[in-house]
């Protein structure tokens, strides 16, 4: 097995950074295929916390190639800050980064549009990260997006900016924003970006394809989660790209036959940021307790995340839409800090994820025996083998696996790299 895709199986923030970091030690190449700096992946290496937004979580291993694929939208300013910060910590020593010439570029005007739309009282508030993700993907679909390769071609860059200026400025004006797209200023900005960006650029589709053909171990890292997918998520409360494993092929430029396995990551409970349906959301004291225990605040925006019990029907939906072959369950130790633990196996009136009625789904909640014991969290966070886990935790994992029809591949029992129980073979 040489190509593994790892995706979020909930509404994002499942702990992809930690899991990909734990698996990346075995990989030769780690690639991202969608999204941009709306993602925030937290790694804890030697007790130090590192958050990446664009660079794949494999960056913590010197020598492991890290690829930003064609399906991504890249804000060069954020990318540069991230590289500098990683270099300061001794990571990204030199030649490990590659950026697709076909990825799309986020300019400041994409951010202005995103933020102004969110502030527009007459609009649908999605609760976006305001990073310009939606407007950049929108321009791509409208065939006036600006690709990384266009930064190298002044004539084409001017044409593309021209194609954007009228519509963008009219919308900014209508929304009452002060900023305007100024073509000369954007060209000057792009010239500055090219100076440092150029050495990273290549045909990453060819690079990934050749790595797979050469028998290299390739780890493909998704962003956000299944329920935020543009086609299969809780539309319109979704991100603007594909978050499912199927998107890895289009986003990188490889065929489905190149993928050997797909692992989905789920927390032992559920969280969501931004607007949109979340049937098992806990309001009140239990929700606050879970947020505190899990430190559930956005890695990108710092927003408090809504928290709730594990939603098994939603997880099974994610497992099927992704074709999962393994499940990685994170934050099991956090769940054990709760005074009681429950799950949802169904919603009232036969509602199912993907149905119109999902927006108002009422979960049927079931409390589980064996939890709520104070020493449980400590025993869980010390486990390194499946056998080390207490019986209540093991039967919890069995139940998840049985319900979704997917074997458990990995369990995360704390933020540290070593706090991981490996069950399945990644490569
Ligand atoms: P956008 O991706 O910034 O356009 O935001 C669209 C929706 O996706 C909002 O509900 C965001 O909160 C959510 N979202 C985007 N990226 C992430 C992420 O990495 N984790 C969790 N939610 C996210």
From 129, 137, 294, 297, the mutation candidate for ligand 1 (largest count of ligand atoms within 8 A of CB) is: 129
Residue nearest to atom 20 of ligand 1 (CA): 12
> What average pLDDT does this structure show over 375-397?
95
Q: Establish whether residue 228 lines the binding site of ligand 1, counting it when its CB lies within 6 angstroms of any ligand atom.
A: yes
At 354, which CATH number? 3.90.170.10
In a domain? residue 427: no
In a domain? residue 80: yes
Q: How many CB atoms lie within 10 A of CB 393?
A: 26
Choice among 3-7, 198-202, 351-355 with the minimum mean pLDDT: 351-355
DSSP type of residue 41: E
Q: What is the mean pLDDT of the chain?
A: 94
* Cis-peptide into 248, omega within 30 deg: no
Of 181, 196, 211, which one is at a domain's C-terminal end? 196
In a domain? residue 344: yes
- Is 355 a known active-site residue? no
Q: Are residues 281 and 400 in the same domain?
A: yes
Q: How high is the pLDDT of residue 43?
A: 74
Of 196, 230, 253, which one is at a domain's C-terminal end? 196
Asked if the model's pLDDT at residue 94 lies above 70, the reply is no
Q: Which domain holds residue 157?
A: 104-196
- pLDDT tens column, 109-129: 999 999 999 999 888 889 999
Q: Are residues 54 and 135 in the same domain?
A: no
Q: Are residues 272 and 308 in the same domain?
A: yes
Q: Are residues 221 and 91 in the same domain?
A: yes
Residue nearest to atom 19 of ligand 1 (CA): 39
Q: Are residues 362 and 270 in the same domain?
A: yes
- pLDDT tens column, 213-231: 999 999 999 999 999 999 9
- Is 41 a known active-site residue? yes
pLDDT band at 1 (very low <50, low <70, confident <90, very high): low
Q: How high is the pLDDT of residue 260?
A: 96
Asked whether the beta carbons of 91 and 58 are under 8 A apart, the reply is: no
Q: Are residues 283 and 390 in the same domain?
A: yes
Q: Are residues 42 and 118 in the same domain?
A: no
Q: Are residues 340 and 239 in the same domain?
A: no
Asked if the model's pLDDT at residue 269 lies above 70, the reply is yes
Asked if the model's pLDDT at residue 61 lies above 90, the reply is no
Q: Are residues 144 and 158 in the same domain?
A: yes
Asked if the model's pLDDT at residue 393 lies above 80, the reply is yes
Q: Are residues 85 and 207 in the same domain?
A: yes
At 143, which CATH number? 1.10.300.10
In a domain? residue 65: yes
- Work out which ligand 1 atom sits closest to the CA atom of 273: 12
For the chain, the domain total comes to 3
Q: How high is the pLDDT of residue 48?
A: 76
Q: Are residues 289 and 402 in the same domain?
A: yes
Q: Are residues 295 and 168 in the same domain?
A: no
Segment 206-212 long-range contacts (CB within 8 Å, at least 24 positions apart):
206/253, 207/29, 207/65, 207/67, 207/98, 208/29, 208/31, 208/67, 208/69, 208/252, 208/253, 208/254, 209/253, 209/254, 209/258, 211/28, 211/29, 211/65, 212/2, 212/3, 212/254, 212/258
Of 196, 214, 247, which one is at a domain's C-terminal end? 196
Q: Establish whether residue 128 lines the binding site of ligand 1, counting it when its CB lies within 6 angstroms of any ligand atom.
A: yes
Q: How high is the pLDDT of residue 57?
A: 84
């Amino acid at each position: 097995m040489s190509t593994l895709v790892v995706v979020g199986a909930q509404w994002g923030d499942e702990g992809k950074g930690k899991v990909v970091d734990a698996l990346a030690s075995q990989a030769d190449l780690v690639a991202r295929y969608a999204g941009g700096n709306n993602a925030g992946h937290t790694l804890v290496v030697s007790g130090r916390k590192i958050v990446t937004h664009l660079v794949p979580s494999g960056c913590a291993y010197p020598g492991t190639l890290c690829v930003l694929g064609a399906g991504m939208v890249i804000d060069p300013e954020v990318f540069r800050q991230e590289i500098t910060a990683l270099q300061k910590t001794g990571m990204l020593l030199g030649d490990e980064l590659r950026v697709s010439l076909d990825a799309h570029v986020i300019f400041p005007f994409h951010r202005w549009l995103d933020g102004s739309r969110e502030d527009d009282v007459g609009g649908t508030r999605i609760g976006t990260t305001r990073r310009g993700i939606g407007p950049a993907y929108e321009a791509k679909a409208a065939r006036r997006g600006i690709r990384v390769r266009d930064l190298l071609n002044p004539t084409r860059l001017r044409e593309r900016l021209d194609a954007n200026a009228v519509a963008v400025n009219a919308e900014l004006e209508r929304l009452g924003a002060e900023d305007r797209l100024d073509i000369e200023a954007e060209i000057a900005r792009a010239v500055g970006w090219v100076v440092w960006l150029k050495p990273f650029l290549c045909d990453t589709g060819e690079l990934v394809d050749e790595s797979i053909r050469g028998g290299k171990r390739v780890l493909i890292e998704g962003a956000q989660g299944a329920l935020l997918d543009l086609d299969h998520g809780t539309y319109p409360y979704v991100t603007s790209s594909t978050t499912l494993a199927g998107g890895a092929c289009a986003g990188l430029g490889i065929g489905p036959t190149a993928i050997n396995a797909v692992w989905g990551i789920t927390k032992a409970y559920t969280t969501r940021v931004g607007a949109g349906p979340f049937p098992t959301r806990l309001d009140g004291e239990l929700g606050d307790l879970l947020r505190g225990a899990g430190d559930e605040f956005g890695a990108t925006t710092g927003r408090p995340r809504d928290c709730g019990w594990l939603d098994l029907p939603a997880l099974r939906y994610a497992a099927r839409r992704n074709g999962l072959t393994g499940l990685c369950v994170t934050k099991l130790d956090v769940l054990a800090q709760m005074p009681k633990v429950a799950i949802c196996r169904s919603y009232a009136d036969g509602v199912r994820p993907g149905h119109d009625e999902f927006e108002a789904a009422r979960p049927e909640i079931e409390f589980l025996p064996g939890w709520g014991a104070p020493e449980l969290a400590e025993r869980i966070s010390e486990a390194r083998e499946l056998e080390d886990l207490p019986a209540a935790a093991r039967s919890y994992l069995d139940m998840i696996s049985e319900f979704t029809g997917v074997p458990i591949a990995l369990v995360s029992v704390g933020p540290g790299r070593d706090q991981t129980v490996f069950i399945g073979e990644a490569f």
